[in-house]
Structure 1
Amino acid sequence: MKKGILLSLALLCTSTVVSAARLGTLVDVYGDRDNQLIGYGLVVGLDGTGDKAQVKFTQQSVTNMLKQFGVQLSGGTDPKLKNVAAVTITAKMSPHHVPGQTIDATVSSIGDAKSLMGGTLIMTSLKGIDGEVYAVGQGNVIVGGYSAEGSDGSSITKNIPTVGRIPNGITIERRMNPDPAGNIVLSLKNPNYETANNISNEINKTFGNGTARAFSKSSIEINSPLEEDKRVAFLGMIQELDVDVGQNEPKIVFNSRTGTVVITGSVRVSRVAVSQGGLVVKVGEEQDVIQPSVLSGGTTEKISRSELEVQELNSGMMIWEDTADLQEIVDTVNSIGATPDMLMQILQAMDEADAIMGDLIII
């Protein structure tokens, strides 16, 4: 059966040149990023949906916690864990967070607990990649799903009840080590030589020659004040500058799973001729039943009969003149009723022939 309509243009960028854009939307400050925190802890107060007795690390964690409060368990004591679950706690911490501020946390079961609903995370330290403790987490876990089980073994689950969040449940205890005072480096979100040069020129024109230097298509180094308050004010002024954005490389993006094609408006093709054909083979199987007469006393026989049909599709020759634009490409491909697979083959063949003036990206 023939596939559905050929070509889905999810986005058409009719122009890739922006007259001017706010500099703050084009760059990030190098080192100004979130840092990942992680911790291991226990969620208590569950309604019988916690880890089972087979989860030994949860037993050990409960035993160690009780010892910290002066509760000594005998060697043969086996604490019941149906109301306790071992979890990991993850959070993102900005370098601008200071002690006393709070951030959200995600709590995820690492044992065989069925649900974290109604549980409370007890005090847990969170560490950075350097192994240092930067925050402490504690609070009620909010779960966006549920799980229920009947006595006959039937069950129902909605969303993921073994993952929850604690809004503002993480308290910052220490700051991330700030980068040493020195030059500021701006990183372009979309690296482009022309844009990097325009940013450098605009900053030098505003603050004086030698203030900025573009040393790659993705980075601009800026001489900035050493005092922290003046650096903040300086960055605030820089982010408000208007900068001309350079033209990015034209792109054709093809999603092989959905058949979606995204083509920027600046895509051009050189003079090229394309012939697209296809072979469709259909095989059908039918069975005839032969019923013997009553007098013969024979058995019923089944005879298979195959039907084979071969159809060759030929779309003819498509010709695009030099510097054909997006509309011509789309109109021509649509006119032959191409399926997404056929379109994929056409684009790949044109790219191999260096006929596409842009990047072909297949995802």
Structure 2
Amino acid sequence: MKNFILFLATIFTLASTARAEIKLSDVCRIKGQEENTLHGMGLVVGLKGTGDGDSRTTMRALARYMELMGHRLGNDPRGQTMLEELKGVKNVAMVFLTVTVPAGGAQQGDLIDCKVSALSAKSIEGGYLMLTELHGPVPGDKTVYGIAKGQISIDDIIKPQTGTIARGCQMEQKFQNEFVKDGKLLLVMSKDQATFQMTSLVEQSVNREPDFRIGSTGEGIARALDQVRVQVIIPATYADNPALFASVLMETRVGRPQTDTTVIINERKQAVIVGADVEIGPVAVMHKNRLIQVGGEQLNQFVEVNPAAETQKPKLAALVDALNTLKVPAEDVIDIIKMLKHKRALYGELIIE
């Protein structure tokens, strides 16, 4: 694509919605409502000669499993298990298991997909996972939250060392993070919204709600702790039903930040997204004997930038529009934006993907 195509509708949408309101659930989550991972180590059997071979670690694990099943191996004169009896076993492999518990948690009896990864086997294709205990995400926690077993399906034939057991984990007990602590909720901003400005906006928006007041003076219930967290006190009217309060709270409308000063460039796709409030300093851009003057007097051949602007500070979106009018190629537009940033004439954040 020779000519650079900028989706002006996107820019205009950004300009018109820069101060629109969004739901609280669009910018943050309640702490305790996040995914968690269960893990375990197990044995896969039924392989076609692609297992761990004579790995003593695998043989010890197999011997232990056999012992639990009532099939104890013999001992040598020193009382040690005779692992040599398992030499030549090629169809067994030791694997690492992971299960992702959804953000809402899991109840006893729930079935969840299980990911299986071989430690040293060449392939676990066609293998069957023997009954394996799964523990919580905290190392050292011996609580058994789930049991995994079942036939393994390979996700990618190029990587036969990993696979999935569909609904292979059965939860043995409830696994759910508590979202209420000492009568309070903690809101955690999403990564791309974690700013002091945003947490301040969340605090103000929640405290403006008339139903979210406490005490005789009608104090607000929200308090921004930093650029990531906002603490919210559960009002007395919702004390017996915190889940309902969480639902109502996350529907609260929040004003967007007053500025959008981010520029995103995808060089592979030759695409640019320009925030509505990205300003640029006075510069002159020369391209193939054509001059675009931004700020100051107009010179030579030019395309007017920001003709209807109410401010003397020109916007990058207007400059890009002018470059498009002159049919400047995409790669040249991208280079011009980079040079503006290098010259410190672009007043915003530049992200290159």
TM-score by length of 2: 0.74
Supply the RMSD in Å over aligned alpha carbons.
3.2
Residue type of the alignment partner of 2:91: N
Equivalences, count = 310
* Matching residue's letter, 2:69: F
Q: Given the alignment, which residue of 231, 237, 246 partners 2:257?
A: 246
* Corresponding residue of 2:166: 167
Structure 1's 110 and 131: CA in aligned 2 closer, same or farther, altered over 3 A?
same
- The whole-number CA distance in structure 2 between the counterparts of 1:136 and 1:273 is 65
Match of 2:90 in 1: 82
Distance 1:57 1:335 in 2: 69
Distance 1:164 1:201, change over 3 A: same
Query: Residue 294 of structure 2 aligns to which amino acid in structure 1?
Result: W
Shift of 1:8: 6.1
Query: What's the secondary structure of 1:77's corresponding residue?
Result: helix
Label 1:330 to 1:161 Cα distance change in 2 as closer, same or farther (>3 A). farther
Equivalent residue runs for 1:318-329 within 5 Å: 318-321=292-295, 322-329=313-320
Q: Which amino acid aligns with 2:96?
A: T
Q: Structure 1-normalised TM-score?
A: 0.72
Structure with greater proportional helix content: 2
Rounded Cα–Cα distance in structure 2 between residues aligned with 1:10 and 1:83:
57
> Contact 1:50–1:82 (CA<8 Å) still a contact in 2?
yes
Structure 2 residue aligned with 1:294:
none
Mapped contact 1:186–1:220 kept (Cα < 8 A):
yes
Q: Give the greater-gyration-radius structure (CA).
A: 1
Question: Aligned pair 1:30/2:31, yes or no?
Answer: yes
Aligned counterparts, 1:42-121, within 5 A:
42-46=43-47, 48-74=48-74, 75=82, 76-93=84-101, 94=103, 96-121=105-130
Determine if contact 1:6/1:334 at 8 Å carries over to the other structure. Answer: no
Please, which moves more after superposition, 36-45 or 116-125?
116-125
Of 203, 206, 212 in structure 2, the residue corresponding to residue 203 of structure 1 is: 206
| 1:258-299 Cα shifts (integer Å, max 9, x gaps) | 5443323433322211346xxxxxxxxxxxxxxxxxxxxxxx
**Matching of residue 136 in structure 1 with residue 137 in structure 2:** no
Which of 334, 337, 340 aligns to 1:347? It is 337
Output the amino acid matched with 1:219: R
Comparing 77-86 with 324-333, which one deviates more in the overlay?
Answer: 324-333
Q: Tell me, what secondary structure is at the counterpart of 2:72?
A: coil
More strand per residue: 1
Q: Does 1:332 align with 2:340?
A: no
The change in CA–CA distance for 1:258 and 1:361 in structure 2 (over 3 A counts) is: same
Instruction: Give the whole-Å Cα distance in 2 for the aligned partners of 1:334 and 1:56.
Output: 71
Residue 126 (structure 1) aligned with residue 135 (structure 2): yes
- Ranges in structure 1 where 5+ consecutive residues have no aligned partner: 147-157, 277-313
* SS of corresponding position for 2:51: coil
Q: Shift in Å at residue 54 of structure 1?
A: 4.2
